[in-house]
Amino acid sequence: MTFDHILIRLGEITVKGRNRGRFETEMLKQVQHALRGFPGLTFIRTYGRLYIALGNEPYEPVADRLKDVFGISSFSPVKRVEPELQAIREGALAVMRSFPQRQATFKVKVSRRWKGFPHDTMAMNHLVGAHVLRNMPNITVDVRQPDIELNVEIQEHHAYVYCEVVQGAGGFPYGSNGKAVALLSGGIDSPVAVWMAMRKGLEVEAVHFHSYPFTSKEAQDKVVALAKRLSTYAGKPFKLHLVPFTDIQTRLAQSKQDHLIITLMRRSMLRIAQRIAEKSGALAIVTGDSLGQVASQTLGSLNVIGRTSDLPLLRPLIAMDKLEIIAMAKRIGTYETSILPYEDCCTLFVPKSPATNPNLRVVEHIERGVPNLSEMIAQAVEGTETIELSPDAPAPAGQTGAAADDWF
């Protein structure tokens, strides 16, 4: 194996001035957690960087896991050598030879972080480059647009040689920017919104509204599956609040305001989400709204619906196009589940012509006419069931759950 270490570059957290130390400690913890399935790894933390010694572990599966860890801007498989000329030259050649032997151009980029190293950067570029050229007849130099950029980083105790830079997920370590609750419907958008909030370092608790028998158990299973998928990014148990919404929905439907029903439902949902946020110490509500996508996401609707919340409403998808959202959902592995055909409680009640520009005064007036609305909201919060999901643990079993394991 050519590469024996992985060099991890931390993203935005390095701009965090005084808090950097705390962020870096948190980052190390999360990387260790994400890679706990690889006992052969050792972790080395240095200024703004993290190194992983692979030991006997294979690179590819470790890299696959790293791509999902928030706070990593990029990483590289590297070869570690002694910080002296001959070792660096041999390491550079070994790295170059790990590429398929064909015509290619390259350039050397030496970063001399240890100022005590005897050769200066210019000299090193030449010394390393010449050694590769002598030994690999198919390789030529192109300093402008090389196929391969051969990087050499010289530090006091070790030098690192690498070519490849793999994009990380970016963002902040999970939970390092506080906590929010997020509305999770089961559609394509809301899981993406949750993922984007998580990437920004928010710890997220998801809130889902179900209204059996208007929605099926499968619609709920689908949300559990989505939450489970999202939990792989959390690095710790992911909370999902399941709110019984049948009574409120039925009562709102009885107000005979078909074109406003979605507006009314969304307002009640936000009120419930806010209560749940207060109970769990969350300081924001994340939604999957994308401007203009559906009637409840026009600016007029967002205004009337959003007024029910005192907490900041975070809408990571607000300026994204549907196709971008779908591409993202595929990338984070929620798309396949999201497109399963079970309806959530909003899609079932979509009227023929929902209001795109609801009137706040009219909506407030209707709500005052709904008997016991605030009591029902309190009851819904009261009756909320909370489950915790982890990527490895099986989803809470159904009736045949116990037998099913044995059957397979």
Partner 1 sequence: MLYFDHSASSPPREEVIRTVSEVMAQIYANPSSLHQGGAEARKLLERAREQAGRLFGTSPAEWRFTSGGTESNNLAVFGAARRYRNRGRHLIVSGVEHPSVAEPFRALEREGFRVTVLPVSGTGHVDPADVEAALTDETILVSVMHVNNEVGAVQPIEAIGRLLKDRPRTLLHVDGVQSVGKLPALIREWGVDLFTVSAHKFGGPRGAGWLYVRDGVELEPLIFGGGQEDGLRSGTENVPAIVGAAKALRLAVESQPERAERLGRLRRRLVRGVLTMPGVMLSGPAEDDPLRPMAPHIVHFCCPGLKPEVIVHSLEELGVLVSTKSACSSKDDKPSAVLTAMGRDAACASSGIRVSMGDEHDEASIDALLERLETVLRKLAPLRRKEDRH
120: Cβ–Cβ under 8 A, 6 or more apart, which residues? 112
Per CB under 8 A, contacts with partner 1 among 204-223 are: 216-218
Among the residue ranges 19-27, 117-125, 132-140, 396-404, the one whose residues contact partner 1 (CB under 8 A)? 396-404
Q: Binding of partner 1 at residue 142 (CB under 8 A)?
A: no
399: Cβ–Cβ under 8 A, 6 or more apart, which residues? none
Among the residue ranges 109-117, 126-134, 267-275, 400-408, the one whose residues contact partner 1 (CB under 8 A)? 400-408
CA distance 80 to 150: 14
Would you say 290 or 338 has its CB closer to partner 1? Answer: 338
Minimum CB separation from partner 1 for residue 400, in Å? Answer: 5
Minimum CB separation from partner 1 for residue 338, in Å? Answer: 14
Q: The dihedral of CA 142, 145, 150, 156: what is its sign?
A: positive
The tokens describing 185, both together, are 């419907």
Q: Binding of partner 1 at residue 404 (CB under 8 A)?
A: yes
User: Are residues 24 and 13 in contact, defined by beta-carbon separation less than 8 angstroms?
Assistant: yes
HEC string of 238-287 equals EEEEEEECHHHHHHHHCCCCHHHHHHHHHHHHHHHHHHHHHHHCCCCEEC
CA distance 315 to 266: 15
Would you say 299 or 339 has its CB closer to partner 1? Answer: 339
Would you say 147 or 343 has its CB closer to partner 1? Answer: 343
Among the residue ranges 84-92, 202-210, 302-310, 395-403, the one whose residues contact partner 1 (CB under 8 A)? 395-403
The one-character DSSP state at 143 is S
Minimum CB separation from partner 1 for residue 169, in Å? Answer: 22
Query: What SS3 state is found at 280?
Result: helix
Minimum CB separation from partner 1 for residue 104, in Å? Answer: 20
Query: What SS3 state is found at 210?
Result: strand
Would you say 274 or 337 has its CB closer to partner 1? Answer: 337
C-alpha 31: how far from its chain's center?
14
What does the per-residue mask of binding to partner 1 show for 306-345, with x meaning CB under 8 A? ------------------------------x---------
Minimum CB separation from partner 1 for residue 2, in Å? Answer: 21
Query: What SS3 state is found at 97?
Result: helix
Q: Binding of partner 1 at residue 402 (CB under 8 A)?
A: no
Minimum CB separation from partner 1 for residue 404, in Å? Answer: 7
Among the residue ranges 134-142, 154-162, 266-274, 394-402, the one whose residues contact partner 1 (CB under 8 A)? 394-402
Cα–Cα nearest to 71, from 43, 32, 109, 38: 32
Cα–Cα nearest to 356, from 254, 260, 255, 256: 260
Would you say 21 or 341 has its CB closer to partner 1? Answer: 341
Would you say 323 or 403 has its CB closer to partner 1? Answer: 403
Among 47, 157, 400, 402, binds partner 1 (CB under 8 A): 400
Minimum CB separation from partner 1 for residue 212, in Å? Answer: 11
Among the residue ranges 176-184, 311-319, 378-386, 393-401, the one whose residues contact partner 1 (CB under 8 A)? 393-401
Cα–Cα nearest to 147, from 107, 100, 101: 107
The tokens describing 177, both together, are 């920017």
Bridge partners of 77, per DSSP, are 6
Number of residues that bind partner 1 (CB under 8 A): 12
- Encoded amino acid at 62, one letter: V
Reading across the β-sheet that carries 179-183, which strands appear in turn? 313-314, 285-286, 179-183, 203-210, 238-244, 385-389
Residue spans of alpha helices (H) in 282-372: 299-306, 322-332, 335-338, 360-369
Would you say 353 or 399 has its CB closer to partner 1? Answer: 399
Among 39, 145, 319, 407, binds partner 1 (CB under 8 A): 407
User: Are residues 204 and 286 in contact, defined by beta-carbon separation less than 8 angstroms?
Assistant: yes
Would you say 292 or 401 has its CB closer to partner 1? Answer: 401
CA distance 319 to 305: 18
Which residues lie near partner 1 (CB under 8 A)?
216-218, 336, 398-400, 403-404, 406-408
